[in-house]
Amino acid sequence: MPEHDGFLAAMPGYLASAGMLMTKLVSLFPHNDGAQLPTHQALIVAFDPDTGEPAALLDGTAITAARTAACSALSARLLAREDASVLAVLGTGVQARSHARAICRVRPIRQIRVAGRDPAKAAALAEELSSVLDADVQAAGSYAEALDRADIAAATTHAVEPVIRRPWLTPGVHITSVGYNPAGREIDDATVAGALVCVESRQAALAPPPVGSNDLLMPIRDGLITADHVHAELGELIAGSKPGRTSPDQVTLYKSVGVAVQDAAATALVIAAAREQSIGEEITLQ
């Protein structure tokens, strides 16, 4: 949809271990921020893996927010310092909210700084989070201010120019980056080149546009790094086949582009919980 800088994507997935066959239809309309609508909106349809019969229709927007933040929290559990207590949240949308909640579950976060393009939205989000999280939550005047002495940085923007820049970072920070803009990126070259870089999937992160990550593809294109600079996938860190952080001062970076298997796993959990609690509405397709 070039007139809106938007697109509609299909993300089909099959997770045999969970018995989940599904597809997500997700729209990305980056200008929705000004219309008070989410930039990402989605539906998920689950199918019976034995017959192909449609089995469930779910709110993909909520599931996407939860599973994306959960994977960022997993990266923090695997890569952030154990004593990480200061979190910088860059962005003020759905993912900013979900990331603040999720990361507080895996590290002893005592202070959260929120920064965004709109100071009023940053202040409103800080007030909202302070009412639900056991942390001192403040709005920062700039991205640089939010990142100053932060132990973990969660970038959740649609930035064209990087919102995370190497001079703004504290040694030992762990960065999670989930933002997407086909015309830009969230992380500058110096940060990517100097960090231990991890992804959920090399194939997805390094795929040609519009699927892959500009944060990695641009410095590869410019000869600053090679594809081998991607140190590990999260699964390799979990399995122990690749090491994680090697020193307290090492900068670590988790770059996410989202993969359908995450949606499949999350969908399986939601459907199982809904059936157990008798939540949802049975419908007949005519």
pLDDT digits (tens, 9 = 90+) for 87-117: 999 999 999 999 999 999 999 999 999 999 9
pLDDT of residue 248: 97
The mean of the pLDDT values for the chain is 95
- Grade residue 46 by pLDDT with cuts at 50, 70 and 90: very high
Domain annotation for the chain: domains and CATH numbers: 2-62+261-277 (3.30.1780.10), 65-259 (3.40.50.720)
Q: Which residue has the higher pLDDT, 18 or 32?
A: 18
Burial classification of residue 56, based on how many CB atoms lie within 10 Å of its CB (0-12 exposed, 13-18 middle, 19 or more buried):
middle
Q: Which residue has the higher pLDDT, 75 or 180?
A: 75
Interval 214-218 mean pLDDT: 97
Tens of pLDDT, residue by residue over 220-263, are 999 999 999 999 999 999 999 999 999 999 999 999 999 999 99
Interval 172-189 mean pLDDT: 94
pTM above 0.85? yes
- Grade residue 123 by pLDDT with cuts at 50, 70 and 90: very high
- Grade residue 209 by pLDDT with cuts at 50, 70 and 90: confident
pLDDT of residue 160: 93
For the cut 80, the answer to whether the pLDDT of residue 36 exceeds it is no
